[in-house]
């Protein structure tokens, strides 16, 4: 049984004799009470009852919040003022201070509103909640049947909003994929900083070969999202992906000595960046060995080779089972193993060939 208990200037909400909420807030005009339930266990107690079993003097009950992937959901429910039906209201907020997605909060909110308006306008009434730090929306659902269990209706509502959120995230990512190259990486903490620095230098490498693009790293839990966005919307993302595949293998290369003057500055800059990256990995190796880290960090010395592909660190070249020669860029280049230590690279020639390949590829 759901009932109210009065005590001086307070009112208690009891379920089966157990006190689950207290309020001193009386709405004088309607002589009704509003309660806030802070504990999820208390939610469960009232979930077993139907909306029609609520005391008539209960105006609204606020439940403990739910966390979706990006949205905080704060549900409440109560009897409608203008009829014999009930309303579930969910105030939804996005925390801008912790936003770390590759798409803007405004784009995400726009997708949410579009999905609700186009697909669920007959079930959800939506209005804006204005908060500069946490923009959000108020979503209202109607419950017409007084016998409907409160828990069933709340869970169905939360599940629906989580599904809408997932669809909005997918739509935002689809839009980004049309404009940017994005991939996830996961690095052990000991080498994470060095790997991220090397990835960030990729933007400079692209400019040196004739592609203007911005690069960005976003932290997401135990992984990072690395995205490359060309300034020219007509720039082929597949071309950038192939160059990235080559770039992340360069730390395993042996660089050929050359007297060529062309691209000497670019070659020296890249070589210095790779040497710095390798020195950071060697320092990490010393730290790991000193700590006697055994949780897979030293296995086959994968990490310390510093080869990054698809968010993983490549195996040592000597352990790879592929053919000795690897053709890239449609066969334009062929990478050959060099004394079991990677492959031989003439950096000025690499820059020259990459620029020529990019120009020819654009002319197709």
pLDDT tens digits for range 10-20: 888 888 888 88
**Residue 131: per-residue pLDDT:** 59
Per-residue pLDDT band at 156 (split at 50, 70, 90): very high
The least confident of 43-47, 207-211, 315-319 is 315-319
The one-character DSSP state at 97 is G
The pLDDT mean for the chain works out to 77
The least confident of 156-165, 225-234, 340-349 is 340-349
Does position 53 have pLDDT exceeding 80, yes or no? yes
Beta-carbon count within 10 A of 100 CB: 11
Per-residue pLDDT band at 262 (split at 50, 70, 90): low
CB 281 within 8 A of CB 188: no
Backbone angles phi, psi at 18, to 5 degrees: -100, 130
Per-residue pLDDT band at 90 (split at 50, 70, 90): very high
Instruction: Pick 187 or 315 by higher pLDDT.
Output: 187
Does position 163 have pLDDT exceeding 90, yes or no? yes
Does position 154 have pLDDT exceeding 50, yes or no? yes
What are the angstrom distances between the C-alpha of 130 and each of 77, 91, 107, 116, 137?
21, 11, 17, 19, 8
Does position 260 have pLDDT exceeding 70, yes or no? no
What is the β-pairing status of strands 32-36 and 344-345?
A: unpaired
Percentage of the chain exceeding pLDDT 70: 74
Per-residue pLDDT band at 272 (split at 50, 70, 90): confident
Q: Which of 73, 68, 42, 35 is nearest to 151 (CA)?
A: 42
> Encoding tokens for residue 188?
């052990």
**Residue 130: per-residue pLDDT:** 63
**Residue 245: per-residue pLDDT:** 86
Q: E strands of 176-222, at which residues?
A: 181-185, 213-220
Instruction: Name the strand (E) or helix (H) holding 62.
Output: strand 58-62
């Amino acid at each position: 049984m759901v009932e109210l208990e009065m005590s001086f200037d307070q009112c208690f909400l009891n379920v089966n004799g157990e006190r689950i909420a207290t309020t001193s807030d009386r709405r004088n005009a309607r002589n009704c009470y509003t309660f806030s339930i802070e504990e999820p266990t208390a939610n469960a107690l009232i979930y077993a009852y139907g909306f029609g079993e609520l005391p008539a003097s209960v105006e609204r009950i606020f439940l403990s919040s739910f966390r979706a992937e990006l949205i905080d959901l704060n549900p409440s429910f109560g009897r409608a003022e203008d009829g014999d039906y009930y309303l579930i209201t969910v105030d939804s907020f996005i925390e801008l201070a912790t936003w770390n997605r590759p798409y803007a909060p405004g784009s995400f909110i726009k997708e949410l509103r579009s999905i609700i308006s186009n697909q669920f306008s007959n079930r959800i009434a939506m209005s804006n909640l204005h908060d500069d730090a946490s923009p959000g929306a108020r979503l209202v659902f109607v419950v017409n049947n007084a016998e409907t269990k409160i828990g069933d209706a709340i869970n169905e509502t939360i599940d629906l909003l989580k599904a809408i959120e997932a669809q909005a995230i997918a739509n935002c990512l689809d839009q980004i994929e049309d404009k940017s190259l994005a991939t996830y990486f996961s690095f052990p903490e000991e080498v994470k900083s060095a790997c991220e620095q090397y990835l960030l230098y990729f933007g400079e490498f692209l400019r040196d070969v004739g592609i203007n693009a911005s690069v960005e790293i976003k932290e997401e839990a135990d992984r990072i999202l690395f995205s490359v966005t060309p300034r020219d919307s007509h720039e082929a993302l597949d071309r950038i992906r192939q160059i990235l595949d080559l770039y992340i293998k360069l730390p395993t290369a042996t660089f050929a000595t050359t007297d060529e003057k062309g691209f000497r500055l670019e070659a020296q800059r890249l070589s210095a960046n790779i040497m710095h990256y390798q020195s950071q990995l060697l320092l990490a190796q010393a730290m790991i060995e000193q700590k006697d880290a055994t949780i897979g960090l030293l296995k086959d010395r994968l990490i310390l080779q510093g080869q990054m592909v698809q968010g993983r660190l490549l195996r040592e070249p000597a352990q790879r089972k592929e053919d000795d020669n690897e053709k890239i860029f449609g066969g334009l280049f062929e990478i050959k193993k060099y004394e079991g230590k990677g492959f031989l690279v003439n950096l000025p020639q690499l820059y020259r060939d990459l620029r020529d390949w990019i120009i020819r590829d654009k002319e197709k």
